[in-house]
Chains A and B, each alone.
Chain A
Amino acid sequence: MGIDRRGFLKHLAGIGSAAVVGKTTKAIAQEHFTGYPDRFGVLVDLTVCIGCRKCEWACKEVNKLPNKPIAEYEDKSVFEEKRRTHADTFTIVNRFENSQNSAEPIFVKKQCMHCDEPACASACLVKAFTKTPEGAVIYNPKVCIGCRYCMAACPFNIPAYQYDDAFTPEVTKCTFCFDRIRREGGVPGCVEMCPVEALIFGKRSELLELAHDRIRNNPGEYVNHVYGENEVGGTSWMYISPVPFEEVGFRTDLGVTPIPQYSRGFLSMVSVVLVTWPALCMGFYSFSKRREQLAKAESEKSGEEQ
C-alpha cells in the first residue's frame, strides 16, 4: 500500500481523535492546589477521647447502617484487636497502649481523613469521588463500576467494598455527613454525639490554630505535631496526640506530597507521546519505504544491464 496524500490525511484524522483523549488528560497537570479556603475540618484530641464508642453508634444511625443498641457499644472486648472501616462501618475506635502513662490507654477514632487532594478521586476513572468546597470527599454510586482502584490508592486504607452484594456493590466510606455540614450550623453525627468534646468541628484554618494553641499552651501534654496538617498535602480531619503518632497506629512515612502529584509526571508525558510518536512512526515508515524503492530500482537497473 502506497501512502498518498489522502491516506496521510486519513492517518492524521485518526491521530486527531487520539488528541481529544489526550487533551482531556492534560487538565490534571494543574498548578499546586492549596485547598478550598473555607473548608471544614474536625480536630480530634487524643488526650480527651475516653473510648466510649458513641461516635460509632451515631455514625450508623445518621448513615442508616445496620446498628446495635447503644448499650452494646460499652463492650470493651472489641479493643482486643485493631479494627478498620468496613462496608457498613464508616468509623471505628481503636485502643493503644500509652507509652507515657500505662494506666490511661489512648483511643483513636478512625474514618476518612477527607484529604485536600484525595488519592481516591485522582484514581477514579468515572469521577465517582468529589472534594467539595465544604471539605467533604463524597462518593457517587451511580457511576461507580467497581474497579476498587480508589481502595488500592487510599494511603489511609479507608474505602471499603460491599463484597457480599452480587449485583449492585458500592464503595463505602465516611461522608463527613455532607448533607448535614452543608446546612448552616450542621455538624457531623459523630461530633454531635461526642460526650467529651474529643471531636471539634469547624473551619479547618481555625482548627489548625486551635491545635497549635493547645500544643503551645500545654507543654508536655502533646507531641508537637498536628497529624493531617501536612500529611499527603493536608487533610480535613486532623489529630493531636500525647505520644508520637506512629505509636498509636498512624503512618508517619506518608510524606507531604499529595498522592495525585505522583501521577502527574506520567500524565504530562501522555500528550508528548501523542504528538511525537505519529511523526516518528511516519518517519520510520517513509525511511524504510524509500530504502525499499531504491533497492527495487537498483535491482531493476542491474537486470536491464544484463
Chain B
Amino acid sequence: MADKVVTRESWVRQNLFLGMNLRDYVKSNLTPFNYVAAIILVIGLPVMAYRIIYGLGPATNLSDNNPWGLWIGFDMMTGVALAAGGFVMGTAVHLFGMKEYRPLVRPAILTGFLGYLFAVIGLMFDLGRYYRLPYPIFVSLGVNSILFLVAWHVALYLTCQFVEWCPAIFEWLDMKKFRKIFLNLTIGATIFGVILSTLHQSALGSLFLLMPSKLHPLWYSSLIPVFFFVSAIIGGITMTIVESMLSHRVFKEQVPKIAMDHAHFDRITIGLGKAASALLFTYFCLKLIGVAHGNDWHYVNTNYGYWWLVEVIGFILIPAFLFAFGVRNDNAKLIRVTAIVTVIGVALNRVNQSIICFNWNAEEQYIPHWMEVVITITIITIGLITFRWIINRMPILYDHPDYEVEEH
C-alpha cells in the first residue's frame, strides 16, 4: 500500500514537476516570462469573462457593417495559416521520405495542433452562440456553405493532428501499447491531413469569394483559394524555421538530447529556406496573375495600391530573393531572419484580406476594441504556456531514449 503511494508521488514528481518537489518546482517558475504571462492573465481572464457575461456589443467594435474583426482576421485566419507547418513537415518526412527533416516533425505537429486548437478557442469568443459550435457537424448541416467545409475540415484535422501527436503523449506516460497503435495510424493521419489541409486552407480564403463588392479588387480574385493554399504552405514552412530557432534557444537544456548537431540543424533550415524561396516566387507570380485576371492594374496607383505593393514586394518578392541569397551563401542566419519577415507577411496578408481591405469603399472603418486585443493576446499567451508545458515534459524536440525511432 505504502509502496503504491510512493510510486504515485514519484510519478507526479517525475512527469508533472520535472523531477522536482513542489516547492522547488514553484520556485523554478518564478521567471520574468512567467511574471509577464501572469500579468497578462490577470488582465485577460476578467476581460474574457466580461465578453461572456455582457456580450459582443460592449466588448468589441464589431458592427452591422463590420461583422468580422480581429478574432476572425487574426486569431482564425492567421492562426490557421501559420499552423500549416504540421501538415507540411508531416508530408515532407512521412510521404516524401525526406528523413533529414524528421527532428522538426514533432514540434511542427505540436505547433499545428495548438495553433488550430487556440484558433478555435478564439473563435468561441467571436461566435454569438459559441455553445452551438457542434451544430454544423451534428444538428443542421448547411452543405452549400464554404464555411461548412471549413468547420468540418478543421474539426477532422484537429483530430488528425491529435492522432499524430499521440505517440509523444504515450511515450511520456510510458504506455507502449497505445503508442504502437497511434504510431500505426500516422501515415493514414498524414494523408488524411494533407487532403483536409489543402481544402480548408484554401476554403478559408474562399470565404471571401462571396464578397466581390466588399473586398478591394487587388485582394479579390477567383484565385483566392490558390493564394491561401500556397501562402499557408509558406507560412507553415517559415513558422517551422522560426519555431525551431526559438525552441533551440528557449529550451537550451534539451538541445544536447536532440539527435541533430548544429551543422545538421543549419542544413535543414537552409533546405526549408530553399523551399520557401521557390514558393514565394510562385506566390508572387500568382498574385500578379490575379491582378491581370481582373485587369485591376489601375488600382495599383492608389493608396490601397501602395499598401498592396508593400505586401507583394516587401513581404513576398524581397523575402523570396533573401531566401535565395541565403541558400546560395549557406547563410542560415539570413534564412532565419527572412523567415520572421515572411511570417509577418503571411499574417499581414490575412489581416489585409479580412479587415483592412474589407469594406474598403465603406465610410465606417473597423478598428479593434481594446478588449478584443487583450483577449487575442491572452489566448496567445495561454497557447505559449501550453506549448512550453508540453515541450518540457514530452519527447517533442528530442527522441525518447527508451523508444526506437519511428520509421515508416
Contact = CB atoms under 8 A, between A and B. Distances in A.
Contact of A263 (B53, B65, B146, B214): B146
Contacts of A125: 136, 142, 145, 147-148, 150-151
B195 A273 contact: yes
B97 A152 contact: no
A259 B210 contact: yes
B342 interface: no
Contacts of B206: 263, 266
B44 to A, nearest CB: 19
B210 A145 contact: no
Interface in B126-156: 126-130, 132-133, 135-136, 139-152, 156
A28 interface: yes
Majority secondary structure, B binding face? helix
Given A145-B136, A166-B52, A263-B210, A282 B191 contact: yes
Interface string A145-189: 111110111010101111111111110000000000000000000
A244 to B, nearest CB: 18
Interface string A47-88: 000000000000000000000000000000000000011110
Contacts of A265: 222
A297 interface: no
A36 interface: no
A147 B147 contact: yes
Contacts of A126: 132, 135-136, 139-142, 148
Interface in B100-120: none
Nearest to B151: A125
B127 A147 contact: yes
A1 interface: yes
A278 interface: yes
Contacts of A255: 212
A3 B142 contact: no
Interface size class of B (residues with CB under 8 A): 35 or more
Contacts of B148: 25, 125-126
A255 B406 CA distance: 56
Given A18-B195, A86-B64, A277-B198, A285 B142 contact: no
Contacts of A28: 143-144
A24 interface: yes
Interface of B: 52-58, 60, 62-65, 67-68, 91, 94-97, 126-130, 132-133, 135-136, 139-152, 156, 183-184, 186-188, 190-192, 194-196, 198-199, 202-203, 206-207, 209-214, 222, 225, 358, 406-408
Interface of A: 1, 3, 7, 10-11, 14-15, 18, 21, 24-25, 27-28, 84-87, 119, 121-128, 143-149, 151-153, 155, 157, 159-170, 251, 253-255, 259-260, 262-263, 265-267, 269-270, 273-274, 277-278, 281-282, 284-285, 288-289, 291-292
18 contacts: A1-B183, A1-B186, A7-B188, A18-B196, A86-B64, A125-B142, A125-B151, A145-B133, A161-B67, A166-B52, A263-B206, A266-B225, A273-B198, A277-B194, A277-B195, A277-B198, A281-B95, A288-B97
Instruction: Please list the 8 inter-chain residue pairs (A to B) with the smallest Cβ-Cβ separation, ordered nearest first.
Output: A146-B128, A288-B97, A166-B55, A163-B57, A148-B67, A164-B57, A151-B67, A143-B140
